[in-house]
Structure 1
Amino acid sequence: MRILPDVPLPSGEPGVTPAQLVDGIRSWVTSAPLRELVGHFGGEWPAGDLAAMLAALDDFSARHWDFRGGRERPEAREPALDAATARLVLAGSAALGLVRPVAPARPAYAHLVVLGGLAHACLRRVAYAAHLLRAGPAVTGEVAVLGSFRPLSPAELRTLAAAGGAGGDTEVDALDAAVRLAFGVAEPVDSDGADAGHPHHCWSWRTYRPAGLPPVRVLAAPSSEPDRRRAHTADTQRFWAEHVRLSPGDAVLTVTAPLYVPFQHCDALRTLAVPYRCGIETVGVDPAVADLARLPEPTLTPGRHLQEIRSALRSMRALHAVLDAG
């Protein structure tokens, strides 16, 4: 695979200014790897200011790189790409920050946030967070494990059972099982929630206290648009922020999969860094960590990479809209 220079994401350093965030968005969006991908798929580079460019790229990616069509990620179709196109996609995706894991940059953080996903991702991300806490960096506040009441598929239920996680049938149940397995805890020390009769309206949280480590809180968020969809990443981040006291300058480390780092980093900038003036650093799970060998991840296809480049573009467009509104 051709190796292209890495394109940095918008900075999440504490104290980053709106102007610096806009510059970071512009730098990523106008980078050579993204331009090359757009051109390869028959697109002309859009004219106009950054807002117009983001809108045009959102529209272009909807026509060429959206294989979900509103469905969950596992239900996305895989496009038929020739070998040269597949190589170009993977090289561009790596340069844009969707492939190579990067270690946390700081020796300490105020909070560590683990983002949910499919069952195998829940297990891997929580296990990686436990590894980070035991190996460093330090976390002075809490570990927040964020999910929703999305029902697990039969395949996810099998994945969870094979890993030793018993009981439950939703994403937050998978995260809860992952916390019990990775941190060696049995019962929460505190819990609360509301059953509103529909998963898009419900919420819950449970707090665990593993020996020698920060408290670990597992949260399920309600949807901000319950009539349209389940809770998504930004909903879970916003819900957590309402339950913890974030201070200006706090450094927050977010853990996800490398594939989702760009879009979930920009979601966190929009929902946490901008309103709370905290710092955001987003890292992907490092598959080289020994603890993860028993938790294999499905092979990621070129179509999945294109889909998440689109997700990153949409997340940057949403972040820019908030910054532009002032």
Structure 2
Amino acid sequence: MRGADAALPTGLVAEQITAEIWAWVDSAPLRGLVRHFGGDHPVGDLAAVLAGLDDFSARHWDFRQGRERPDAREPVLDPGTAELVLGTATALGMVHPVPPARAAYAHLVVLGGLAHACVRRVGYAAHLLRAGLAVSGEVAVLGSFRPLSDWERRTLADAGLPADETEVDVLDTAVRRVFGVDAPAEQAGVDAGHPHHSWSSRTYRPAGLPPVRVLAAPSSEPDRRRAHTADTQRFWAGHVQLAPGDEVLMVTAPIYVPFQHCDALRTLALPYGCGIDTVGVDPGLADLAVLPEQTLTPGRYLQEIRSAIRSMRALHDLR
């Protein structure tokens, strides 16, 4: 799944999304993976297939069990299974990066994540802009007040980077370093006394480049959890006044492209009528070597295949 054409009527967009979800969940690699783990591929309409895959993946591939990604259990897999998982993830578009489909976008959105990913994604966004990608609106760097784990702080310290306290702190530090800016030109926010209720917005204006906004969103369910990706996307869309026909490029890591692309279709493309392309950081770029990519294990790929299934199910339920 790569993008949604905002120029199509709403009904045709829904048909396109349905067709792309079908192609992903009914693919031979995913069928083979389910079979290898002892399951039968679900039958029925798309809703039934997605529900069946959601249930199956919950039983076999959910190693987080509600925890943050760094705290997920790593399964013990034999070499043949590990090779099959990697091959499936490759076929499903979760391993190799692809370049942006367009030369110009209305907005460039960088999604937050673990500390090392925040640094690399901001660096990749700067690389795209300096390589000639045209952005007529703004660069939005989206995160939350999620506290960093001890592992993330150690990773930053080992790379000689500041030991920030939260995800949005890492994003803000990366923007200042990569874009060569010192202080925001505009800033706003609300400190509600709890990170799930609070928000902040800082806009920088690097010379010769679009404005860069670093945004920390509140949670839509503050009594239950921190802000997640969909919360940050919705919050940004309201701030930027996203318009029908806007083309938006999302930057994440290849492993997260399917699930975060579907989140963006659900929270941005369908409600606002904009187009979405989602790409992963190219790990081969020398200017991203300040903080190497974390090793991605077969268990991580299985977990994110499950994330993609769940995101596709939520998208299908909405459309």
TM-score bracket relative to the smaller structure: over 0.9
Q: Which amino acid aligns with 1:130?
A: A
Q: 2:193 maps to what in 1?
A: 197
- The alpha carbon displacement at 1:164 in A equals 4.9
Q: Which amino acid aligns with 1:37?
A: L
CA 1:298–1:87 in structure 2 vs 1: closer, same or farther (change >3 Å)? same
| Cα distance per residue 1:125-170 (max 9 Å; x no partner) | 0000000010021111000000000001122123334445436400
1:213 corresponds, among 194, 209, 233, to 209
Indicate if the aligned counterparts of 2:153 and 2:163 stay in contact, CA closer than 8 A.
no
- The alpha carbon displacement at 1:14 in A equals 2.5
Number of residue pairs matched by the alignment? 315
2:184 corresponds, among 163, 173, 188, to 188
Indicate if the aligned counterparts of 1:11 and 1:24 stay in contact, CA closer than 8 A.
no
1:18 corresponds, among 14, 17, 26, to 14
- Counterparts of 2:273 and 2:25, CA distance in 1: 24
- Counterparts of 2:16 and 2:185, CA distance in 1: 42
Indicate if the aligned counterparts of 1:148 and 1:221 stay in contact, CA closer than 8 A.
yes
1:65 corresponds, among 37, 50, 61, to 61
Aligned pairs for 1:253-264 (under 5 A) are 253-264=249-260
- Counterparts of 2:182 and 2:251, CA distance in 1: 23
Q: Does 1:83 align with 2:75?
A: no
Indicate if the aligned counterparts of 1:10 and 1:28 stay in contact, CA closer than 8 A.
no
1:139 corresponds, among 135, 141, 149, to 135
- The alpha carbon displacement at 1:51 in A equals 0.5
1:310 corresponds, among 296, 306, 309, to 306
| Cα distance per residue 1:193-227 (max 9 Å; x no partner) | 11111111111110001110000000000011111
Aligned pairs for 1:70-149 (under 5 A) are 70-149=66-145
- Counterparts of 2:171 and 2:154, CA distance in 1: 15
SS across alignment from 2:155: helix
- Structure 2, unmatched stretches of 5+, are none
Indicate if the aligned counterparts of 1:201 and 1:222 stay in contact, CA closer than 8 A.
yes
Aligned sequence identity (%): 74
Indicate if the aligned counterparts of 2:164 and 2:170 stay in contact, CA closer than 8 A.
yes
Aligned pairs for 1:290-305 (under 5 A) are 290-305=286-301
Q: TM-score under structure 2 normalisation?
A: 0.96
- Counterparts of 2:309 and 2:223, CA distance in 1: 25
- Counterparts of 2:110 and 2:21, CA distance in 1: 24
| Cα distance per residue 1:266-305 (max 9 Å; x no partner) | 0000000000010000000001112012220111000000
- Counterparts of 1:129 and 1:160, CA distance in 2: 19
- Counterparts of 2:141 and 2:159, CA distance in 1: 18
| Cα distance per residue 1:293-323 (max 9 Å; x no partner) | 2220111000000000000000000000001
Q: 1:227 maps to what in 2?
A: 223
SS across alignment from 1:242: helix
- Structure 1, unmatched stretches of 5+, are 1-8
Q: Which stretch of the first structure deviates more once superposed, 25-34 or 13-22?
A: 13-22
| Cα distance per residue 1:227-262 (max 9 Å; x no partner) | 111100000000000001212111100000001000
- The alpha carbon displacement at 1:90 in A equals 0.1
- The alpha carbon displacement at 1:24 in A equals 1.0
- The alpha carbon displacement at 1:11 in A equals 3.6
2:149 corresponds, among 147, 153, 162, to 153
Indicate if the aligned counterparts of 1:167 and 1:173 stay in contact, CA closer than 8 A.
no
Q: Which amino acid aligns with 1:35?
A: R
- Counterparts of 1:279 and 1:196, CA distance in 2: 34
